[in-house]
Amino acid sequence: MAIFDMKNIRNVALLGHSGSGKTSLAEAMLYISGGSDRLGKTMEGTSTFDSDPESVRRKISISAGFAPVEWDNVKINVIDTPGQPDFVGEAAQGLRVADSAVIVVDGKSGVQVGTELGWERAAKAKLPRAIFINKSDDPDAHFENVLDALTEQFGNALCPVTIPGGEDLIIDLANMQAHIADAKGKDSVKDIPDSVKSLASKYRDKLMEEVAGTNEELMMKYFDGEELTTEEIATALHSGIVKGEIVPVYCGCSTKLWGVSLLMSAIADSFPRFDVKGSEKNEEGKDVAIDEKGSPALFVFKTVVDPFVGQMSFFKVMNGSVKSDMTLKNSRSGSSERLAKLYVIKTKQQLEVSELRCGDIGMVSKLSDTATGDTLSADGNVSYRKTEYPTPYYVKGIRALAKGDEDKISSGVNRLLLEDPTIRYEVSKETKQMLLYGMGGTHLELVLAKLKTRYGVGVQLEDKKVAYRESIRKSCQVQGKHKKQSGGHGQYGDVWIEFKPGQEEGLTFTESVVGGTVPKNFFPAVEKGLQECMQKGVLAGYPMVSLWANLYDGSYHPVDSSEMAFKTAASIAYRDGIPKCAPVLLEPIGNLSVVIPSGQVGDVMSDLNKRRGQISTIDPSEEKRGYSVVHAIVPESEMSDYVPSLRSITQGRGEFSFEVTDYAECPANVSEKVIADAKKAQEEANK
């Protein structure tokens, strides 16, 4: 594969709603450019971008796909991102190294949730945007209606560059020509049919007005009635796209190759290259200059663990050029890494290259101490800004299907964590349950499938166990006496303890023994006995918290008393006394913040009321126009299905954050069910 300079490299991310045709567009670009000898199709399971078995089975993209497309002496690195919300981490990785974004829109369905989210993510990444209205062959597709809806949603910067011309024609407004693609995607040019001339003239005037507005010289030329040249239009489009003043709109049908070559020509002629912004941000948010002739540096934005190749590190060259056999230093670990061989990834193929220049995307395998988000450079003194990932809140317990596979689960999940930063794995300190966090149910299903196919570990999902606690509301005084005689020395310990609610989370132990009825050397044994008992409460076996215990009296035997005897006496006092202190079950509660369209606040509040949530405030969102933020306190036990529920209520537009902050007394009906379930589980365990 040829080596391209930065000026001839374009990194373009495809975004949009699931099913809008992003992967089909990527396949069409690869096929038309000669990069593939067949046109892959997602629904037929022949897509080269979606070659993973799970992608083929589900007929959706589950990971970002990459392929270089050579067009008009320009290398277009196509980054096909998933539209499913469960795989937003993959989209984030693609956006991190893209220099522009094309948002693919279904010509029949128009503006969908994925359209809005794709626009928001590109805007947050500060990427220049373009729109491709796909599926123009659909009889129910209506370009004008979709364009109007897009303009209403995203503003007047949208400007059509190509429009449908009826049947299989696409009108190029810059040249006022009709294009028709053959079976290979090669365009031939025809005159614009009379039936669409007036529509084409209308939209061309809009295009000319927008491009003329990019500089005064073109504006004067436009007002004087002079025609703008194709080169002037391309240059003006480039300027407008970079500044965000123009969002070009293209159209076509990716499966029939209509309008795809026009889009690729536009990308080559008008879309920005890597250094158009002049600098990159480092971890501290400071600018780092981009110099294609400078010292080599690369940013690892994605990791894949291949069972045959090993660890594959995908990177973008951020400065200078990198060559095979070059040694660079990792700024995080300080270790040196040798880039033995460099590759360009073309869907599922790995094409070896000797060099990659500034702005290009490649892959290197078998780095010893490099992870996603690391920077490698000549001196190790630069660390580029890491990708921002959403926090996973969808959680399930996991259990090995085969006994003894727990270690295999931990090992397999930790390897998958190298690939997917939106996974989180932990073992609960309180319930001892293995927990797996992800972006949704489909995401966790995929993780389980990978554990099975790659590492041979069968795993079953189960509900997360809530870490309840127990406490008391009243005080009581109780005796705990342990007396046992079995020949020789016996065992004797006798304590009187007052229990009452404590102020600290754990045990607050005091003693007020008078006259030495219990020797001081037995005090620690009494305290230790109570601490051990507190590991299990008397209601459902959950840990006891906030307990104050005062040892105020007792008795001992000069021969038979021992630390063990007093420890046992303390446990007897606990067992007999706590049930008399009005024990209660406590549940974890947390702060919930939900960001939703303002028109859906009522639906969300109604849902939170059903979850026993207490609404605290509702504020307008500072980051998203037309959105509100609902703040509430919600029991953790009611949050297990909140990810799919919120998606359903808001059609995928809502997002939330949740953090357990405190414990509160359970309502009676909840407490009764938890206690009954605990007793049932204990009975089954005893069988």
Alpha-carbon distance 351 to 75, whole Å? 15
- Whether residue 455 is contained in a domain is answered as yes
**CATH number for the domain harbouring residue 363:** 2.40.30.10
Q: What is the pLDDT of residue 461?
A: 95
Q: What is the pLDDT of residue 280?
A: 95
Q: Is 317 a residue whose pLDDT tops 90? A: yes
Closest CA to 224 of 212, 207, 214: 212
**Tokens at residue 618, please?**
């509702």
- Whether residue 683 is contained in a domain is answered as no
Angle between helices 88-97 and 113-124 (to 10 degrees): 40
- Whether residue 680 is contained in a domain is answered as no
Same domain, 480 and 456: no
Same domain, 85 and 197: yes
pLDDT-based confidence at residue 148 (cuts at 50, 70, 90)? very high
Alpha-carbon distance 8 to 623, whole Å? 35
Q: What is the pLDDT of residues 623-669, one digit of tens each?
A: 888 999 999 999 999 999 999 999 999 999 999 999 999 999 999 99
Dihedral sign, CA of 314, 320, 323, 325? negative
Instruction: Please state, for a pLDDT cut of 90, what percent of the chain lies above it.
Output: 84
pTM assigned to the model: 0.91
pLDDT-based confidence at residue 433 (cuts at 50, 70, 90)? very high
Parallel, antiparallel, or unpaired for β 170-172 and 177-181? antiparallel
Q: Where in the sequence is the domain holding 316, given as residue range(s)?
A: 283-377
Same domain, 356 and 291: yes
Same domain, 559 and 663: no
Q: Is 564 a residue whose pLDDT tops 90? A: yes
**CATH number for the domain harbouring residue 37:** 3.40.50.300
**Tokens at residue 363, please?**
């892959």
**Domain final residue pick, 277, 312, 347:** 277
- Whether residue 113 is contained in a domain is answered as yes
**CATH number for the domain harbouring residue 501:** 3.30.230.10
Tell how far CA 303 is from the center of its chain.
Answer: 15
- Whether residue 147 is contained in a domain is answered as yes
pLDDT-based confidence at residue 480 (cuts at 50, 70, 90)? very high
Q: Is 573 a residue whose pLDDT tops 90? A: yes
Domain count for the chain: 5
Rounded (5°) CA angle 356-358-361:
55
Q: Is 130 a residue whose pLDDT tops 90? A: yes
Q: Is 488 a residue whose pLDDT tops 70? A: no
Alpha-carbon distance 246 to 234, whole Å? 12
Instruction: Please state, for a pLDDT cut of 70, what percent of the chain lies above it.
Output: 100
Parallel, antiparallel, or unpaired for β 158-160 and 247-251? parallel
Alpha carbon distances (Å) from 83 to 52, 53, 88, 525, 684 = 16, 18, 8, 61, 45
Q: What is the pLDDT of residue 224?
A: 84
Beta-bridge mates of residue 48? none
